[in-house]
């Protein structure tokens, strides 16, 4: 289980969930809050037409117990590359592991 102080508000994450937890196996988002109960993220995706991050209108709360693993982008890393390339590729790999496993 991740410690709340290791994941901070403002980080971007790709979160792999324990199978059967939610409709999708992995969510990509901006961390809005992290506490002893879990993470609240705003789901994001890369908008190719505008060449920028597009945020969702709703937030998602994920309890720590439901998190299997995370790919994390801190403020020291290029956010655009993470949201556009790395996180979606990781999400596909996670999905393939679930189907193949």
Q: What is the mean pLDDT of each run of 10 residues along the chain (101 residues)?
A: 76 95 93 95 94 92 95 92 95 85 54
Quote the CA–CA distance of 101 and 94 in Å, as a whole number: 10
Q: Domains along the chain?
A: 4-96 (2.30.30)
Quote the CA–CA distance of 39 and 5 in Å, as a whole number: 11
pLDDT value at residue 3? 61
pLDDT value at residue 88? 95
Query: Residue with structure tokens 């505008």?
Result: 50
pLDDT value at residue 90? 95
pLDDT value at residue 4? 61
Contact between 1 and 61 under an 8 Å Cβ cutoff? The reply is no
Please give the model's pTM, rounded to 2 decimal places: 0.89
């Amino acid at each position: 289980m991740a410690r709340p102080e290791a994941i901070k508000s403002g980080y971007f994450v790709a979160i792999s969930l324990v199978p059967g937890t939610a409709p999708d196996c992995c969510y990509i988002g901006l961390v809005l809050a992290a506490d002893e109960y879990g993470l609240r993220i705003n789901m994001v995706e890369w908008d190719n037409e505008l060449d920028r991050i597009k945020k969702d209108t709703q937030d998602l709360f994920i309890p720590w117990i439901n998190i299997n693993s995370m790919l994390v982008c801190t403020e020291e890393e290029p956010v655009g590359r993470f949201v556009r390339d790395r996180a979606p590729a990781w999400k596909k790999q996670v999905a393939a592991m679930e189907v193949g496993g």
